[in-house]
Structure formats: structure tokens, C-alpha cells
Structure 1
Amino acid sequence: MTNSPDSSNSPAGSNSSNGSGVRPGLTLAVVAVVQFMVSLDLSVVNVGLPQIATGLGFGAAGLTWVIHAYALTFGGLLLLGGKAADRYGRKRVLLLGLALFGLASLAGGFAREPGQLVAARAAQGIGAAMLAPAALALLTATFPAGRARVRAFGVWSAVNAAGGALGVLIGGLLTQYADWRWVMFVNVPMAACALALAWRGITAGGPPARGGRPDVLGALLVTAGMTLLVFGVVRTDRYAWSSPVTLTTLAVALVLLAAFLRVERTTTRDPLVRLGLFANRSVAGANACNLLVGAGIASAFYFMSLYLQHVLGRGPASTGVMFLPLALAVVAGSVLAVKLGYRFAARTLLASGALLTATGLAWFGLIAADGSFTADVLGPSIVVGTGFGLCLGPVVSLATAGVAPHETGTASGLLNSSRQIGASLGLAALGAAAQHRTGHGTTPDALNDGYALGLTLGAALLAAAALIALTVLRRTGRPTARSGNNRSLAPAASD
């Protein structure tokens, strides 16, 4: 046994004190704070977007890059962050990521023009790409099996859900009663708190195993390829899909992504992701589901924020409050997933959660220009939130099942990456579809038609995720406790 969860081979799980320096409770607390902060930042700016556009002079298309800049650098560099965590030590990478995230948030709050805010959001994404996989790898190593793992991932999914959902509420209150800049400043004290907690609460392990040099070229290729892909889709509001500009942009993006795959197969450096990892059906299926779930949920947050403000005429604070039922439902769904995780396989919970979320998004798609919160928002918010909460814990457990200890950081980065890339691609594609439906109309009726289409397409993405969970992921055994001690048996292999 190693002497820290920072070591990739640590099997510590359920013992609160084993004399080896492993402190599962403190590790879980660090991971919870980090995940809440990262999830909060994904949604806290949504309600403030209209005020950000007015304050800094963003255009309609440029405004989406406040979201894309974060999601793309976060998603594109997560694999490199996971690899760095495995190679250089999870605690070290976590601390560096927290410092960068906090400084970038501070810089974003002081931005005076669009380019400065977009650059700060991109820097936030780089910091998040370092700290998120390191934190999740720590959690995976500290709680490797059984009921302790189910509980730990239940806590992780609950704070993940709470951060994402409550971010809209917090963003609305800050925007209306303080200033939009506080949706950036709010991260600074949280990053400082997490940094102090991680510094004291996580014990550095022994020297990590040294591999080859990191595959920086692969990271640059995948990030550039995804950025161009999103850029090409977003720009279809100005250039048609069949225009030379769009076709050229998308073609270059695909060439860059193909080059990334080739580099991963042939590089003499340590690959960003070992492509053989996808031979694990659990890893491949969970990441495919995660990408679709991320696409649907991110788009739903975006469209519903705009629907409440631009169609129903609500203010930022009122909009944030109206997201509270969804936030509470996500937390409730996450808690329910823990309870059901003792009885049902993760595959079953993931498919059920995706289907429930798809049902809620389809219900959202029935929004009306003359609607109301009670008739059009409350019911589907509860359904979507509960379903999404059911998905969070199981997809993490599945994506790291059967992965070698030295690749847990990479697998964790891959999972986070698929969520963020899905969010960015989904928002770009569904946003473009909504824009085409709306045309140049700015009336509540025209905007409502576009938002409703985007939400309906999101439901289709979640239905596809449920289908993948049922057809690609294999059946697994449920966690069981070993009699006579406090340890738990690992779930049956899922690959």
C-alpha cells in the first residue's frame, strides 16, 4: 500500500485512518469543493450574458464565445491535464490548476473589452483542465471499490450537480444586485479556499512513475480542431452550410482532428490518450453518453435562461430563482442514484436517467411565448433535474471501471473532456438550429420558436445517450459488502 491517495496505486477506500497518511474524508472534501467551483463556472455566467453583452459590447455571435472559450480549452486540454496528473503527481497539478483558475477569474472580473474577457475565460479553462482530472483521479484512487465508492461518487455527483444548477441562481443574484463582474470574482475566494484545503488535506505521495515526454502536440491539435469545428458551426448564422467559408473551416477542423488521432498512434512521446483505452466498452460507452448528455444539458441551461429573460421578461435574479427547482432536483437525483446504486447496476441507472432527462427536455420543448413559470418551466425542470442527477454518478463510475491505476487520471480527464466538448458542440449546433428557426426575428414568438426547437433537439440527444447505455455498456453486478469488515467488493468488471 502506498502512503497517499496521490499515488496512483493507492487502494485506500473506506478506512478513515490507516496509518499510511491516507485521509479519505479530507480528500473527499477537497474534491467536493473543487468540483463545485468548476461546475459553478460552467453555468454562473449564463444569466449574466445579456448584461455582459451590454457592458462590454459583445455581438450576438461573439457572446457565445464567453461560454465556448471556457468549454473548449477545458475540454480540449483535459486529456493533457489528466496525463500530467498521472505523470507529475495529482496534488501538484491540482494546486497549480487552482492557482491559475483563481488568477484568471480575477482577471476576467476586471475585463474592459470583449477580447480580455474571452482570454480570461480561456485561461480559466486551462486551469480547470488541470485541476478537474487531478481531483477526480484522487477520488478514484481513494475510493476504488464497493459501497464506499458508491457513496463517494454520490457526494461528487451531488456537488457537481449543485454547482452547475445553483450557478444560475448565484449568477442571477450577483448580476442584478451587484454587477456582472461578480460572476467572475465569485470564483476567487472559492479557489483560495480549495487551494488551502488541498495544501493541508492531501498528502503528497511518492515520486510518480516517469514515462515519456507529454504529448503537447496532440493537445494543441485536438484543441485547435475542436475550436475550428465549433467556430464553423457557430458562423453558419452568417455563412450557409454549403458556403466555401463553412466547408473550408469544417474541413480544416476535421484534418486537425485526424492528425491528432495519427499523432496518438505514432508519437514517440507519452500519448495524450492511449487509443486502446477505448477497447474498454465501459470507457467508450460512458464517454459517448457523457458527450451527448453534456450537449443536451448545456443547451437546455442556455435556452431556458434566454427564454425566461427574453420571452417571459424576467430579470436576472428572478430567472436565477426559477432555476432553483431544477437545482434541487439535480441534487435529489444524485442522492437517489446513491440509494439505487446499491440495488441496480450503473448501466441501468445511466439509461434511466438519460430517458427521464429526455422526457423533461421534450416537455421543455412545448414552451409558449405567452407561457408562465408554473405552466411551462416548473414541471419539466423537476423531471430534467432528477434525470440528470441520476446520470452523474453512474457515468463516472462506468468511465473509470477496469482502468489501470496509472491511467485513472487520463480516464478522468477523458470523461470531463467528453462532457465539455459535448457542451460546446451541442450549444454550437443547437444554437445554430435555433437561430435558423428564429431568423432575424426578435419578437417573443420568434425567439420562442427557436428556443423550443433547440430544447426538442436536446431531448433527441438524451434519447440517443440512453440507447447507447443500453446497447454499448454491458450489464454489471451491483456493489455488495464483504461480511466481517468495513471494506467493499468491487463491482463486477464492466468491460
Structure 2
Amino acid sequence: MTKQRFGMILPITLLAYFLILMDNSIIFTSAAEIGQSLHLTATSLSWISNAYTLTFGGFLLLSGRLSDLLGRKKIFLVGLAIFGLSSLAIGLADSANFVITMRAIQGIGSSIIAPTTLALMMDTYQGEMRERAIAYYGVTAGIGSSLGLLIGGGLTTFFSWEVGFLINVPLTLLLIILTFYFVPNKKGIKTRIDFIGAILSVIGLAALIDGLTSNRLSMILSGLAVLMLFLLFESRQANPILPLTLFKNRVRSGAYLARMLFMMTMLPYWFFLPQVWQSQYHFTALQSGFAFMPLTIVQFIVSLFLARLAKKFGNNPVLLVGEILLLIGLLWSALSAVSAGYWVAFALPMVVIGTGQGLVLAPVTSAGLYQAPDRLAGIASGVTNTAHQIGGPIGLSIIVATTSTYHGEVNRMVLFTAFALVIVAVFVARKGRK
């Protein structure tokens, strides 16, 4: 059985990663109920999601580096505690401002959990086992988001939106207990922490993500300026929070860009479809969650064969085929009339999209850690997740700012995917020459 081969590290890390991804996508299908319950304006409601995204993306680089410096187990437990306690507070809250504040704190917990889970896999597994573990991790990234829509819709329909957050509490407590017993207490690197670099990275990433999610050009430019200052500062440090040597490897750099472009495409897809189904087909929140099942089921099936496919054909061809399938599936959606009905316009294209998504995420994740030294596994994981978190708001903000129609949105997603395909193809070619 899988557990006998992998031990407990794999289920612990996958469950933790699944929780934080599910928690983010739950908002999409329960947003209307949250807004009504807390009497929120559209702007205030957007901050239920934005506050989480802001701190999640803003603290990722710092959290990834801290897992290298302070040790995986210690920082992982801190992240789980923050995530669990903030989830409890959100589920019991009756004030909009308090919910938004707790969502921001929850994002900090997620920013610690995300890179540490991947780094724990890097520490624990080698060779083929590592490739298989990363394949499961990659497919969790897609399935967690998709199932979050279903779980969020179900809990909201049968119980309340608060249950969607309270369910995190017992699961987080279980993870804390399992971590105490099964995760080894590996010491971190003894070195000075780059506090100035840490502050600059948090401010720069938070400002950039805030500008992207709120469509404020001044904030975007401010964030970019601070990040440029951060990179300049890091280039002159002996022990930087972000070692720039990570980007000297063309495979890793290409993977970070490919991961960002993937999320530029897929987050708007996940975000807009429930709205289209609820307005055009009058789906409930639960039905909208179930409507993603063709994508989720196919992606899960693909994940079962991914390790064998990668071993037989190599990561590069698998990744390239996945990008092509994503392009075909999104193009199919773009050319299908909503009036054709759910099965023709959405379900069948999602079978192709789910196959492509399943083939893309694991190879891109693996490439983001390609030849990264063990002492930098945490920050390499942090950069991978940062690219993931930045890509979504970029794609969503561009689409919201440039179109108001469903087909316009999908057509732009196709363009993003085509662009991602070109970038990945270049990346694959370069990797082939390594």
C-alpha cells in the first residue's frame, strides 16, 4: 500500500496542502451567503478573499526561508496553529471586519504551510519516490481547488458558510498531533536572518497582490518598485532571505514563470464558471460545486498514471502534452454557446481541461525544485507557491478590467494558455539541452 512505502509524511503534507487550497476556493461558491449574512457591500465582500490572498502571497518567500532556517517541524506546527485558530475565529465571528482580519491571519498560516509541505517531501523522499510524491502534490493543487468549490457549496447549502471554516479546526488538530509524532525534528541552518529583506519582500508582494486584486495601478507600481529594491538588496547580502542563485538555473526559472502563467489562466476559469452557471442555468451553490466534477474526476484518474507516464516518456513531453490539452479544452469552451447546455458547453470540455491540468501541475512543481540544494528546498518551494499566488490575481485583474462578457473572458483565457504554452515549450527545449 502507498502508506507502507511513503510512511506518514506524504498523507500529512497532502492533507495540509489540500486544506489551504480548499479554504481559498470555498469562498467562490459561498460568497453570496457570506455577503448576505454579514451585510457586506460588493467591495467588502471581495476583501473576504483578497485579505487571505494578500497575506498568503505576501508572506510566502519569508515563510519558505524560515522553514530552511528554523527547521521544518517547528515552522510547520506554527503554521498549522495559526491556520486552525483563525479558522475557528472566522466560524464563530459575527462582524465583517473581524472576519476579514482573521482571513488575513489565516493567509499567514497558509503561507507557512504551503512551502513547508513541499520542502518536507524534498527532505523525506529521493529518486522515484520523490517524483511520485511531487506528482501527488501537483494533482492536489488542482483537486483541492476544485473540491473546495464542491465542499463549500455543499456545506453552505446544507448547513451554513461558517461550517466551511469550522471544519478546518478538527482536521488541523489532527495534523498537529500527527506532526508531533511522525515528522522528524530536523534542525535548521544556523545563520543570521535577513530581516530587512524579509520586510521588503512582504511589503512588495503584499502591495503588488493588493494592486492586482483591487485594480489599482499606483499600488501595482509601488509593489514592483519595492520588489526591485528587495532584489537589489538581496544581491548584496551574504545570507539573503531569497538567494538569487535559485534563478540561475534555467529550468527552475522557466518553471516559476510557467506556474504563474498557468494560474493566470485557471483561476479566472474557476472564478467565473460558478457565476455563469448560477445566472444562466440557475444552479445552486451545491450544484455549481458538483458541476466541476468532470474536471476533478478526470484529473484524479490522470494522477494515478502520471508517475508511470513521466517515467516512460519524461517530464518534458508530458508537460507539453498537458499544455496542448489545456489549450484545446479552453478553446472548446470558448467556441461553445452557453445555450447549448451544461454538458456540451462545459462538462465535455472540462474532461479535456482536467486531463491537461493533471499532466501540467506535477511536472511544473517538480521543475521548480530541479537541482535545488536541500538547504534551499524551503525557499525554492516558497518561490514556486509565490508564482502560483501571483499568477491568479494577475489573470483575474486583467480579465475583469478588459471584458464584461463570458465569452470574452474565456477567449482571453485561451490567449493566456497559448502564451503559457509558448513559454513552457521554450522551457522544455532548454531543459532538453541541459
Class of the TM-score when normalised by the shorter of the 2 chains: over 0.9
Aligned with residue 99 of structure 2, among 113, 117, 126: 117
Aligned with residue 287 of structure 1, among 227, 233, 256: 256
Local SS of the residue matching 1:472:
helix
1:40 maps to 22
User: Would you say 1:224 and 2:203 are equivalent positions?
Assistant: yes
2:344 maps to 375
- The TM-score, its normalising length taken from structure 1, stands at 0.82
Closer, same or farther: CA 253–152 of 1 in aligned 2, 3 Å: closer
Aligned with residue 395 of structure 2, among 407, 426, 430: 426
What amino acid sits opposite 2:423 in the alignment?
A: I
User: Would you say 1:78 and 2:57 are equivalent positions?
Assistant: no
Aligned with residue 290 of structure 2, among 306, 310, 321: 321
Closer, same or farther: CA 476–422 of 1 in aligned 2, 3 Å: closer
Closer, same or farther: CA 156–229 of 1 in aligned 2, 3 Å: closer
Closer, same or farther: CA 114–296 of 1 in aligned 2, 3 Å: farther
> Which stretches of structure 1, 4 residues or longer, exceed 6 Å deviation after superposition?
none
Closer, same or farther: CA 393–247 of 1 in aligned 2, 3 Å: closer
Closer, same or farther: CA 131–231 of 1 in aligned 2, 3 Å: closer
Q: Cα offset for 1:227? A: 3.6
- Whether the 8 Å CA contact 1:47–1:305 is kept in 2: the answer is yes
1:59 maps to 41
Aligned with residue 467 of structure 1, among 397, 422, 425: 422
What amino acid sits opposite 1:463 in the alignment?
A: A
- Whether the 8 Å CA contact 2:338–2:345 is kept in 1: the answer is no
1:388 maps to 357
Distance 1:15 1:312 in 2: 42
- Whether the 8 Å CA contact 1:171–1:183 is kept in 2: the answer is yes
Q: Cα offset for 1:367? A: 5.2
Q: How many residues align?
A: 433
- Whether the 8 Å CA contact 1:286–1:473 is kept in 2: the answer is no
What amino acid sits opposite 2:295 in the alignment?
A: L
Residue correspondence of structure 1 range 326-365 to structure 2 within 5 A:
326-365=295-334
Moved more, 250-259 or 101-110: 250-259
What amino acid sits opposite 1:421 in the alignment?
A: I
- Whether the 8 Å CA contact 1:333–1:388 is kept in 2: the answer is no
> Over alpha carbons, which structure has the higher Rg?
1
Q: Flag structure 2 segments of 5+ consecutive residues without an equivalent.
A: none
Q: Cα offset for 1:370? A: 3.3
Q: Cα offset for 1:471? A: 0.8
Instruction: Output one character per residue of 1:245-302: Cα deviation in whole Å (capped at 9) or x when no partner.
Output: x55333323222222222222346x322111210101110000000111121111110
1:298 maps to 267
Identity %: 31
What amino acid sits opposite 2:200 in the alignment?
A: L
Aligned with residue 157 of structure 2, among 176, 179, 184: 176
Q: Cα offset for 1:176? A: 0.9
Moved more, 297-306 or 341-350: 341-350
Residue correspondence of structure 1 range 201-216 to structure 2 within 5 A:
201-205=182-186, 207-213=187-193, 215-216=194-195
Distance 1:377 1:261 in 2: 43
1:241 maps to none
- Whether the 8 Å CA contact 1:134–1:409 is kept in 2: the answer is yes
Closer, same or farther: CA 417–233 of 1 in aligned 2, 3 Å: closer
Aligned with residue 403 of structure 1, among 372, 375, 400: 372
Q: Cα offset for 1:397? A: 1.2
- Whether the 8 Å CA contact 1:346–1:476 is kept in 2: the answer is no
- Whether the 8 Å CA contact 1:357–1:384 is kept in 2: the answer is yes
- The TM-score, its normalising length taken from structure 2, stands at 0.93
User: Would you say 1:165 and 2:146 are equivalent positions?
Assistant: yes
Distance 1:365 1:86 in 2: 44
Distance 1:220 1:276 in 2: 20
2:31 maps to 49
Distance 2:381 2:163 in 1: 30
Q: Cα offset for 1:469? A: 1.7
- Whether the 8 Å CA contact 1:219–1:272 is kept in 2: the answer is yes
